[in-house]
Amino acid sequence: MPTTDLIKASFAALTAKKSGPTLYDLCDPLLRGGGPGDAHLRTFYGTAVANPVLRPLMGRAGLPALADPDRFAALQGAIRSARDDAAPDWAAIGREIAPLIDAVPQRHPRRPPLAGTPAMPALAEVDRVIRACAHHLLGAFTRNKGFIPAYAAFNLIGDPDFHGRDLATALVGLNARTYKNATLLFNLARAFILPNRPIAALLNPAWSGFAEPMWEPVQIRHRSAYYDAFFAEALMDYVGSGLATPDETARSKTAIAGMIEFCLATSREEVRHPVDGTPFPVVTALVRPPDVRMSKFFWKLKSDLGFGTYVPDCDTTACSLSAATQFGSADPILDQPFLDFYAGYQVRPGSNREPPSVDINDPLDFSGGIVTWIESAAGDRPFGNDLDPTLNLDVLEAAFRNHARWDIVGTPQRLDFLRGVVAFHDRLIGSGLFADPRAHIYYLPELYAAYFGRCLAAFRAMPADIQAKIDPQARFAAMRLAILDYVHHDLAAHEMNPFDAALALLALAKLGGDRARYAPALDCILRSVGEGGRKGPFKAYEWNKMKTPTRILVGGPEVTSAFVLSALAHARTALARSA
C-alpha cells in the first residue's frame, strides 16, 4: 500500500464511529490481567489481541448485534467456558461465534479478463530477468550468512475460505489447547473487524491478481527445510539453464549443498511408523534456535503464545528428499523405503488410522490421500491433522524421482498405495474442485496447477513399464488436459501479478501447454521487474498459508524471485524447442 494511501486508511480507521460493544468491552472483564482459569488464554489475549498497537484500532470496531444483552452474555459465557473449563465444549464455543463470522461473507479477488494478447518478448529480455533473480538469491544467501530467508505475516482479516462452521471444526480437531486458544481469539477479533469497513480496509487492502501481496509491516523472518529445498531447486534450475557464469555455478552449488545439508542433517528427526513402530528419519518443519534464524524476540513471543511445539510433516520431508535426489546426494536417508512410511498416513476406509480431524476443506473425498502432520517421537501432534492436495503431489513427485531406489512398484502394497494417491488426485481434478481455493489447506489452486506439472514431469521421466503399472487407466493424461484447461482459460486468461504469472508459466512449460499462451504471463513478469525496490526484483506474495489460528501468509521477495527464475528457465527451454 502506498504511503499516502496508508495514511488515509489509518486516519479513516482510527476515526471510525464506534457502533456497538467492542472486542475489549466483551473480553477485558474476562481476560485482561491475572485471574482464574487458563493462563495461556489470558496471555494470548494481552499479547496478540489487546496489545497497545491494536487497541486504538480495535477500540473503534463495535458490533451493533452485541447491544442485545442476551447475545452479549451468551458470547461471554462461551469465552468463560474456554477460560475456566477443564475440558471445554469447543464445538459449542465455536457455534456461538460462527454467526458473527458468517455475517460478513468474504471472497477471493475477482480478476478481470485480460484485454488482448501481448507480443512474445525477446529471449534476451527473459535471460536478463533470470539473471537478476539468480543474483538476488545468491546475494541473499551471502548477506544472510548461509541461508535464504522466507517471512511469515499475520493477517487478522482471516481466510476467505474459513467459515463459521470451520471454526467449530478447528476448535474440536486441533490438539493443543494453546492452539485452540489462538484460533478462538483470532477469529473472535476477525468477527469485529469484518463489519467495520475502514478497519478491514486498513488491515486487508485490495490487490491485483490472485496471490495476496505481503504488505504487512511486521514480518517474521525464519528458516525451514521446506524453504531450503525450494530455493535449492530454483538454483538448480539456474545452473541447468546454461546462463550461469562459472563463478555463479560454483556459488550456486555451494549454496545448494548447504541447504540440502540443512534439510537432511540439521532438520532431521527420528520418529516411528504410526502402524508398526519402525523407526524412520523424517524432516521437521521448524527447527529450534539458532538454526531457525528467527530473532530471539520473535522466538520467545512464538513460544509464549503457545506455538513452541512444532512437529515434522509429510510435505517438508518429501520436498527435502526430492531436492536432495535432484542434486545427487548420497545421504543414507534417501535409501529408506519412504513409500512404506507414507502409507501409514494414507486415508483408507476401514483402517484404524484417524481420519483428518481439521477437515475444513470439505467436500473433498480424502480416500487415498496422505495427511499432513507426523507425530514427533514424543507423540506430539499439536495441529491435529489435515489433508492438503498439493502436499500429495509432492509425495508422488519424490516417489517418482526415487522409483528405483524405493522400488515403488516392487510390492503389491506400494503399488496399491501409489494408485490410491493417484485416484485421490483424479477425483479432485475430475470434479473441478481443485480450482476452488476452499479445497486447499495451505496453497492456492494456481500453485497446485504448477506443482501438478512438476509431478507429471517426474512421472514421465520414469520407464514406461513403471508408468503403466502405476497408471494403467492413463489418468495422468486426462488430468493434464483438465489442468491445462484451467491454466489456459482461467489463471493465465485473467489479471495476474508476477507471482501468479510465474505459476501459470511453470504449469504451461511443465505440462506442454500452447506456447502462444506464454505471452501474457511473460509480459506480466517483465513489466513487473523493479516493483520490489531495494528488496529485490519483485515484491513478496502469498506462497503458502495457514488458515488457523488465522490467515498466516508465508513468502518473501526471495520466494518470488525463485518462482520467477524457475518459471522463466523452463519456459525458455520450451520456447527454444519450438523455435
Domain check: are 22 and 128 in the same one? no
Domain check: are 360 and 470 in the same one? yes
Question: Domain holding 253: CATH number?
Answer: 1.50.10.20
Domain check: are 178 and 315 in the same one? no
Per residue in 76-112, pLDDT (tens digit) is: 999 999 999 999 999 999 999 999 999 998 888 899 9
Q: How many domains does the chain have?
A: 2
In this prediction, residue 294 carries a pLDDT of 81
Query: Angle at which helices 123-143 and 557-578 pack, to 10 degrees?
Result: 150
Burial classification of residue 515, based on how many CB atoms lie within 10 Å of its CB (0-12 exposed, 13-18 middle, 19 or more buried): middle
Residue 315 placed within a domain: yes
- Only one residue has cell 512437529, namely 311
- Longest alpha-carbon distance in the chain: 73
Q: Say whether pTM exceeds 0.85.
A: yes
Bond preceding residue 549 cis, omega within 30 of 0: yes
Q: Please, what sign has the CA dihedral across residues 170, 172, 178, 184?
A: positive
Domain check: are 128 and 14 in the same one? no
Residue 45 placed within a domain: yes
Bond preceding residue 113 cis, omega within 30 of 0: no
Residue 36 placed within a domain: yes
DSSP class of residue 463 equals: -
Domain check: are 193 and 211 in the same one? no
Domain check: are 79 and 216 in the same one? no
**Final residue of a domain: which of 166, 187, 203?**
203
535-538: long-range contacts at Cβ-Cβ below 8 A with a sequence spacing of 24 or more? 536/136, 536/140, 536/560, 536/561, 537/129, 537/132, 537/133, 537/136, 537/561, 537/564, 538/498, 538/499, 538/564
Domain check: are 231 and 104 in the same one? no
Domain check: are 199 and 69 in the same one? yes
Domain check: are 404 and 440 in the same one? yes
Segments in the chain below pLDDT 70: 1-16, 216-218, 305-306, 308, 352, 578-579
Per residue in 130-173, pLDDT (tens digit) is: 999 999 999 999 999 999 999 999 888 999 999 999 999 999 99
In this prediction, residue 16 carries a pLDDT of 67
**Final residue of a domain: which of 140, 174, 203?**
203
Residue 118 placed within a domain: no
**Final residue of a domain: which of 137, 170, 203?**
203
In the chain, the N- to C-terminal Cα span, in Å, equals 41
Domain check: are 505 and 557 in the same one? yes
CB 151 within 8 A of CB 540: yes
State the Cα–Cα distance between residues 481 and 428, nearest whole angstrom.
14
Domain extent, residue 353, equals 123-154+205-578
Within 10 A of 532 (CB to CB), how many other CB atoms are there? 18
CB 360 within 8 A of CB 166: yes
In this prediction, residue 53 carries a pLDDT of 87
Residue 215 placed within a domain: yes
For 277: left if phi > 0, alpha if psi spans -120 to 50, otherwise beta; the answer is left
Residue 333 placed within a domain: yes
Domain check: are 447 and 310 in the same one? yes
Alpha-helical segments (H) within 375-463: 389-401, 412-431, 445-460
- Residue 505's nearest CA partner among 559, 572, 560 is 572
DSSP class of residue 62 equals: B
Per residue in 474-496, pLDDT (tens digit) is: 999 999 999 999 999 999 999 99
CB 511 within 8 A of CB 483: yes
In this prediction, residue 120 carries a pLDDT of 92
In this prediction, residue 562 carries a pLDDT of 98
Domain check: are 389 and 465 in the same one? yes
In this prediction, residue 288 carries a pLDDT of 85
In this prediction, residue 17 carries a pLDDT of 72
Residue 117 placed within a domain: no
CB 342 within 8 A of CB 286: no
Residue 116 placed within a domain: no
